[in-house]
Amino acid sequence: MQNIVLEEPYVPVPPRHGTAWPALVSKGLPWFLRKTYGVVEFEYLNLERLRESLRAGHGVALMPNHCRDEDGLVMGMVSCQIGRWFYYMSSWHVFKMDPIKAFLLPRIGLYSVYREGTDRASVKTSVDILARTNRPLVIFPEGFLARTNDRLGPLMDGPALIARAAAKKRAQASPPGQVVVHPVALRYHLRGPLESGVAGVLAEIERRFAWQPNVHLNLVDRIKKIGDALLALKEIEYLGAVQTGPLAERLTQLVEVVLRPLEDEWVGARHTGEPVQARVRQLRAAIVPGFTSGTLDDPERRRRWRHLADIYLAQQLDNYPADYLSGNPPPERLLETIERYQEDLTDKLRPFVPLKVTVTIGEAIVVKPTREGRGAQDPMLHEVDLKLREMLNLPQPAAGSQPKKTTATV
């Protein structure tokens, strides 16, 4: 389990507002993306839409899909293209990973958000950035790293609340101004042969199972066989035996077995049918604050950490859509699946195959100071969702339907 939860009181990390550090870091950004993540080629579409919003003096929120670790750095490359540095809302644990990040990240525009509780400081910082500065703000509206470029998670309502509060503030200013949102589609493409690039990591995973490398299988079958083994191990751990039936049903069953007892204890209700990521956030918000109360004995601390590990498993399972490798999956889906295997087994990733990223800036959506309508999802977020799906070439929601509202803890 990655160290994304901390046993210490939350202390907000504000952004620094200078430009010297962003300018310095930007010089090494292409090299860092190539070496650390294998991103070697960049394509930018419709940058003029963003430039027009900046020339008009609007407060600008950029809302990209979030499918890979390097998405924030890719947005940094966009800032280099338009000659305007960005601010970024980022999870607090990122600032606690090592002293270098703690020093550098605020200086290049990042500031913290506490995902395990209410964070008024982050909301205020976000609203002030959109209302008073001339630098765009990057918020990933899914609120988590999906790791699936061909799937868009439910969008949280927090970004819409922030944008609307800033729009109200700008409308009351003299002279009045506007806040606009640009959806940003990040799409990654392979720029090298997949099978030779991933052969080593697949063999490494198979050796963990005490298998001989399954080089006789085609790549899709080899990947599916590893996935079947990983799921079977967790079914034995939590259910006592390997289950049968369609993959989607097995994944759903395991998630429910993990989350339902925790929801009964910590939130007093079951939320079957709600997005898994929303259920995960709600449980963490109930469990984590106790670590800083000073009243937990060691057995209770260990019990809570076990619960957090279970929650982390449910989140991992949700990152494996049952139909993702159906039919004739594109090589990018195969790569994403292998990367998830490696990360789930080792908590680390390394680049296997060179990648190209295409960044598409969506048309500006004007944010109104007051919300219109009271549907399941905020109308502005619904428009962001539709535009992202269109630019990513993903299926649109059924006519007349909207995704369920997902609450943000900011």
The DSSP-derived string for 292-303 is: GSS---HHHHHH
Please report which helix (H) or strand (E) contains residue 127, including its range.
helix 120-132
Question: What Å distances lie between residue 266 and 178, 284, 286, 307, 312, CA to CA?
Answer: 41, 9, 6, 10, 16
> Which DSSP string corresponds to 230-258?
HHHHHHHHHHSS---S-HHHHHHHHHHHH
Q: Residue 55 belongs to a domain with what CATH number?
A: 3.40.1130.10
Examine the domain organization and report whether 281 and 342 are in the same domain: yes
Q: Is residue 1, in this structure, part of any structural domain at all? A: no
- State both tokens at 301: 């601390």
Q: How do strand 137-138 and strand 87-91 relate by DSSP bridges? A: parallel
pLDDT (0 to 100) of residue 404: 52
Examine the domain organization and report whether 307 and 386 are in the same domain: no
d(CA 68, CA 238): 29
Q: Is residue 274, in this structure, part of any structural domain at all? A: yes
- Residue 358's φ and ψ, nearest 5 degrees, are -110, 125
282 pLDDT higher than 60: yes
Q: Is residue 219, in this structure, part of any structural domain at all? A: yes
Examine the domain organization and report whether 289 and 313 are in the same domain: yes
Examine the domain organization and report whether 27 and 171 are in the same domain: yes
Q: Are 131 and 166 in contact (CB under 8 A)?
A: yes
d(CA 42, CA 27): 15
353-392 pLDDT, tens digit per residue, is 999 999 999 999 999 998 776 666 789 999 999 999 999 9
Beta bridge partner(s), residue 366: 180
Q: Is residue 71, in this structure, part of any structural domain at all? A: yes
Beta bridge partner(s), residue 41: 356
pLDDT band of residue 6 (cuts 50, 70, 90) is: confident
Examine the domain organization and report whether 29 and 139 are in the same domain: yes
> Which DSSP string corresponds to 61-111?
EEEE---STTHHHHHHHHHHHHT---EEEEEHHHHTS-HHHHHHHHHTTEE
pLDDT (0 to 100) of residue 406: 53
pTM of the entire predicted model: 0.92
Examine the domain organization and report whether 163 and 255 are in the same domain: no
pLDDT band of residue 133 (cuts 50, 70, 90) is: confident
196-240 pLDDT, tens digit per residue, is 999 999 999 999 999 999 999 999 999 999 999 999 999 999 999
Domain carrying residue 83: 20-191+355-392
Examine the domain organization and report whether 243 and 368 are in the same domain: no
Examine the domain organization and report whether 52 and 172 are in the same domain: yes
pLDDT (0 to 100) of residue 409: 44
Examine the domain organization and report whether 263 and 339 are in the same domain: yes
Number of separate domains in the chain: 2
Distance between the two ends of the chain, CA-based, in angstroms? 24
d(CA 76, CA 66): 14
Examine the domain organization and report whether 283 and 363 are in the same domain: no
401 pLDDT higher than 70: no
Q: Is residue 12, in this structure, part of any structural domain at all? A: no
pLDDT band of residue 4 (cuts 50, 70, 90) is: confident
Domain boundary among 346, 366, 381: 346
Q: Is residue 268, in this structure, part of any structural domain at all? A: yes
Examine the domain organization and report whether 202 and 273 are in the same domain: yes
Q: Is the peptide bond before 395 cis (omega within 30 degrees of 0)?
A: no
> What's the full length of the chain, in residues?
410
Q: Is residue 398, in this structure, part of any structural domain at all? A: no
Q: Is residue 7, in this structure, part of any structural domain at all? A: no
Examine the domain organization and report whether 38 and 164 are in the same domain: yes
